[in-house]
Amino acid sequence: MSAAALSLRNVSKVWRPEGRPPVEALRNFSLDIAPGEFVVFLGPSGCGKSSLLYMIAGLEEISSGAIEQHGKPITGPSAERGLIFQEASLFPWLTILDNVAFGLSIKGQSTASRRAAAAEILRSVGLGDMLEKKPDELSGGMRQRAACARALALRPEILMMDEPFAALDVQTRAKMQDFLLQLWRDSGASIVLVTHSIDEAIALADRVVVFTARPGQVKTIIPIDLPRPRPTRDPRYHELRDQFMDLLADEVDRAFAEQEA
């Protein structure tokens, strides 16, 4: 059995939309993610970050290379791998309780035990008073907490998050980052989170994977060598921030230069 929870080997993806030229989204992307590791994907717009999450989730096929979970190829979606999007991935017509209970139906428990388990999980994320509310009756932060509860209820080994807090205001976003770190520690899951925010990347990650402009490749991988919560006044914090700004600026310049060529 492989020591990596997730192993990406020379993963390439070419999208072939009908009636349009092919798009090379990723090229020879290789990365190992350890059990319980928190990895952040940072990169310019359109460099293939979301495409890669969908392929790890098993929702899209890779064009070449290999993606393995503990040494076994990923061939389709699985409860072992959860995915959360920017807009809470909840059914608007179900209550919060039924949204989480529905997620548990894959595990084949009775309705009563699913609802009891869902209520317990929702209480643990501070939504015990909201069980009978529909998603649109909740704030954006609460909806994302419910989406986290739904994903984590299945005890996935890997949780993928595609800009989960991008639609939230600054204060709610900071609270959600703390909340996520708590959930991550309690769950023991590996997390792969996509963000455009350098501060979010530093706040959360064990390692930040910086992508090149499309086709996305690993430009560099930077471990965040600061204790959590990350000391924003520490000179090292600012060094890291500057380093990420330079790396991203490089890639954005390159993408523009290529568009103009």
Ligand X SMILES: Nc1ncnc2c1ncn2[C@@H]1O[C@H](COP(=O)(O)OP(=O)(O)OP(=O)(O)O)[C@@H](O)[C@H]1O
Q: Report how many residues bind ligand X under the rule CB under 6 A.
A: 13
Helical packing angle, 111-124 and 140-153, nearest 10°:
130
Q: Which of residues 197-226 bind ligand X (CB under 6 A)?
A: 214
Cα–Cα distance between 200 and 177 in angstroms, integer? 8
Interacting residue with ligand X among 9, 14, 15, 140 (CB under 6 A): 15
Interacting residue with ligand X among 49, 81, 150, 219 (CB under 6 A): 49
- Is the CB of 49 or the CB of 81 nearer to ligand X? 49
- Is the CB of 98 or the CB of 162 nearer to ligand X? 162
Cα–Cα distance between 82 and 85 in angstroms, integer? 10
62 contacts ligand X (rule: CB under 6 A): no
61 contacts ligand X (rule: CB under 6 A): no
- Is the CB of 25 or the CB of 142 nearer to ligand X? 25
- Is the CB of 40 or the CB of 152 nearer to ligand X? 40
What is the b/e burial string over 203-216, where b = at least 16 CB atoms within 10 angstroms of the residue's CB?
bbbbbbbbbbbbbb
- Part in contact with ligand X (CB under 6 A); list of ranges 42-50, 171-179, 229-237, 240-248: 42-50
State the DSSP code for 61: -
Angle at 9 between CA 209 and CA 47, to 5 degrees: 45
Cα–Cα distance between 42 and 211 in angstroms, integer? 6
237 contacts ligand X (rule: CB under 6 A): no
Question: Which residues contact ligand X by CB under 6 A?
Answer: 15, 17, 23, 25, 43, 45-51, 214
